[in-house]
A and B are shown apart, each in its own frame.
Chain A
Amino acid sequence: MRIRSAAMRDRLPDVKRVSSGITRRGFVQGIVAGGVMSVLDLWRWPTAAMARNGASSPPILSGNNFNLTVGRVPVNFTGRLAYATAVNGLVPGPTLRWREGDNVILAVTNHLKEQTSIHWHGIRTPSDMDGVPGLSFPGIEPGETFVYRFPVRQSGTYWYHSHSHFQEQTGHYGALIIDRADQRQADHDRDYVIVLSDWTDQNPATVLSNLKHQSSYYNFHQRTVGTLFADVGKKGLDATVSDRLIWGRMNMAPTDILDVSGATYTYLLNGNSPASNWTGIFQPRERVRLRFINASSMTIFDVRIPGLRMSVVQADGNDVEPVSVDEFRISVAEVYDVIVQPQEASAYTIFAQAEDRTGYARGTLAPSYGMSGTIPPMDPRPIRTMADMGMNMGAMKMDQTGAMAGMKMEDGNKPSNAHRMPAMDMGNPPEYARRARMIGANAPGQPGPHTSAEFKAPDMGDMAAPIANKVKIAIGPQVDNVAEVPTERLSTAGEGFPADRRVLSYADLRAVYRGTDPRPPDREIEVHSTGNMERFIWGFDGLKFSDAEPIRLKLGERVRITLVNDTMMEHPVHLHGLWSEIENGNGEFRPYKHTVNVKPGERLSFLVSADTPGQWAFHCHLLFHMESGMFRAVIVS
């Protein structure tokens, strides 16, 4: 039985609240006295009193009236002095704690020498409060204070970050927790925010410039003569050579997992390097809520806590039916709340390895400070396959025998049509069959995740829904690949996981509350993530932001956005201001997300209710993909 529907969330009146910002039992503020980070001593910041030692959480500011500052502060994450862009002098910035139903007022003062901004990621604000310079407001100029005011109409774990230039990479991010208005008893004893991020001492502009000249600049795990011999030993000469030829013919590398690696990044957990070991305290048998936020610029993490099962209870701020997993992949800008219940009084390692296995962020859950658990070795590096390229697996098998049939990858190849072969028509991987059954069982009559014209017609014939534009993408300087056979991949987290681990997938996410908008979509918008790895140019539908028209939505309309990933990289696609309801087969209990990770070669769709007017950003949340053009304005009017 549902206590209330999510629809109520948007209609709740302001709730008079107790003056204490922290009402939840056992909430750990995490401000530990003493041991102030030495680097912060250099900076007499107004909030320097809140500076923490190497093993504590960001301080929590709660209430409905906030004064925030953005400034440049010296930090030392790598053994070298560097400068960060910090909120209130901290990386991550303070955790803000709001209450659903409040009107919040946030005065943000810019102490930088350049423009800044704060975007409230996943928060449904009026568009002029969304914090995207150029689209929602002009940005906050040096010395200026901008006051954000908006009603809080949702609850859950979110985050905030700069939307100006590369400030996100240099430390401008922090966590946001919104307590429920209904004072429901918390079902956990302790509560920690886990902000994962990537840090480089290099200027982010230099990182992007390096990638423009050599896209493999940060990849030191390419195939070599040595791995050639190893592969021949494992797979045989024919298979090895034909595999190398397939990738070589495309001038692509199956070792391209993340564009920027541990070669320059130090991975942080709540602003702590692996060596400084952030620690969260628990007593045995306590239920510990961990709010994972991936505030990285370019790093997708695989998170596990060896020895503990994690119960995923919330995704992107919205409650989901608990899913018990060993591990989850958290793409950039995604948020997952999990609950763990350690039984023993020993130290457990929170292990967040980068998807390309070039490093990890690490912290500890322990009964007392100073303990540390075993740090597991990193898993083998994932490797891209032809499925990631959206290529026909049948043709791939033929290829293994030496024939190049079906591999239409020549330069100047005529534009492919991604619609030609819907996911259903391809070799039916077992997981697909499972999904198809689930769709039938759980959501009769609900549109499933398959939105190709061929599949939709019988299902939605009475909706008078126009069929999607046939987006035709041509190979060219800005498009190095078009997924010929994009597949439904909701039931997998992607590559790189050992078979014996239970890993969270999008198919596992089933909302606790019924969706607020039962209408079927009026129309479908198909958007392809495209790019040229070698040139490091990224875009949607083969166009960079600066060459493209905005996507227009009518106020009040219901649309299906279908994402097709033509590239061999994941893209966490974030639509500002409106929810993205992933069509994962759970019908009206489809999960509401703000960031939708599209895997290579994948086709998935989400529903959007265009209920808030204004100019919104729609972009890949990998910072350098966004800044290289994978960005669109969405106008709701």
Chain B
Amino acid sequence: MRTGRVFFATVLSLCASVPAHAHATASGASGYQQIGEPPVMDNTVFYHLFFNQMEGRTNGPDNEFRWEGEGWIGTDMNRLWLKSEGFVENGIMTDGDQEALYDRPIPHLRYFDLQAGVRYDLDSNPGRTWGAIGIEGLAPYFFEFAPTFYFNDRGVAGRIEGSYDVLITNRLIAQPQFELNFYSRSDPSREVGSGLSELDTGVRIRYELSRKFAPYIGFAYTGQYGAAAGFVRNEDGITNDPRFIFGVRVWY
């Protein structure tokens, strides 16, 4: 659909303009005679990679690997985000979702960023490309919240993610988390159905040996609903799938 292509072009040009814009603001302070380098570098580029979920999930007979990772690079006000998630079971990758998003804080809000870019469903099933636009940030009471809207020529989709850190101690932290996926149209080859298609939720209890390395255990539940549940049942799959999980939360 043409609107989709126009959108991608816009997003790509937005992304391409990031470094140029960052550079422009780096020398934005005017009115003084700069002798050599600026006196402070308050617009430098930082980057981080982090995996909130990198875990094995088991229900006894079945084991699967799950990851959910993100990374960002940029200045305070202009960032490129990369997001990746998926499952691997018996060498088959499902629910693969890779996103590249331009991120910018929303004016007049303290803790929310606007993110826009592309999503590509890359796994063992047929790939799909989506345009993506959403917000991500900290809702009041330290509630991490990220609703995203996706669209392509097959229809639209939505995802809502949320999580909350409960500090049992300053190092032992319980994190309830959920992810809901909605689609406007069924896509049987990817086992997604219209309406609420899938819920992934869980609670992880991690111990922060350091801020950047925290092993955890927990419990996760994945469920398919409506049409999606039908597709899964046709493949003799499980539509209500509770599992124990163990993994490690790392960042760099």
* Partner-B contacts on A (CB < 8 A): 115, 132-139, 163, 165, 209-210, 212-214, 217, 220-226, 245, 248-251, 411-412, 474-480, 532, 534-535, 537, 544-550, 552, 615, 617, 619, 626-629, 631, 633, 635
Contacts and interface: CB of A to CB of B under 8 A. Distances in A.
A252 B37 CA distance: 35
A389 to B, nearest CB: 13
Contacts of A619: 40
A535 B46 CA distance: 12
A561 to B, nearest CB: 18
9 contacts: A133-B36, A134-B34, A139-B37, A163-B39, A212-B48, A251-B111, A546-B43, A548-B29, A550-B29
Nearest to A536: B76
B28 A547 contact: yes
A283 B120 CA distance: 77
A474 B108 contact: yes
A249 B141 contact: yes
A537 B76 contact: yes
Contacts of B34: 134-135
Contacts of B36: 115, 133-134, 137-139
Given A134-B35, A214-B211, A534-B138, A545 B42 contact: yes
B39 A633 contact: yes
Contacts of A547: 25, 28-29
A245 B41 CA distance: 37
B40 A248 contact: no
A245 B37 CA distance: 45
A627 B76 contact: no
A477 B110 CA distance: 4
Contact of A477 (B27, B30, B106): B106
A187 B168 CA distance: 55
B168 A225 contact: yes
A148 to B, nearest CB: 15
Given A134-B34, A217-B211, A225-B166, A251 B110 contact: yes
A497 to B, nearest CB: 24
Given A136-B35, A547-B25, A411 B111 contact: yes
B76 A535 contact: yes
A206 B70 CA distance: 19
B32 A550 contact: yes
A134 B31 contact: no
Nearest to A532: B110
Shortest beta-carbon contacts, A-B, top 5: A477-B105, A138-B36, A134-B39, A629-B42, A248-B141
Contacts of A544: 42-43, 76
Q: Pick the most buried of A411, A617, A635: most chain B CB atoms within 10 A of its CB.
A: A411
B238 interface: no
Interface residues of B, number: 44
Contacts of B9: none
B26 interface: yes
B81 to A, nearest CB: 13
A303 B77 CA distance: 39
B209 interface: no
A546 to B, nearest CB: 5
B110 A411 contact: yes
A480 B43 CA distance: 19
Contacts of A548: 29
Nearest to A216: B211
Nearest to B110: A480
Given A165-B41, A248-B141, A631-B39, 4 more contacts: A115-B36, A225-B166, A534-B111, A548-B29
Given A477-B77, A631-B39, A251 B140 contact: yes
Contacts of A251: 110-111, 138, 140-142
Contacts of A136: 35
Contacts of B127: none
A412 B37 contact: no
A197 B7 CA distance: 53
B126 to A, nearest CB: 36
A261 B55 CA distance: 31
B107 interface: yes
A475 B35 contact: no
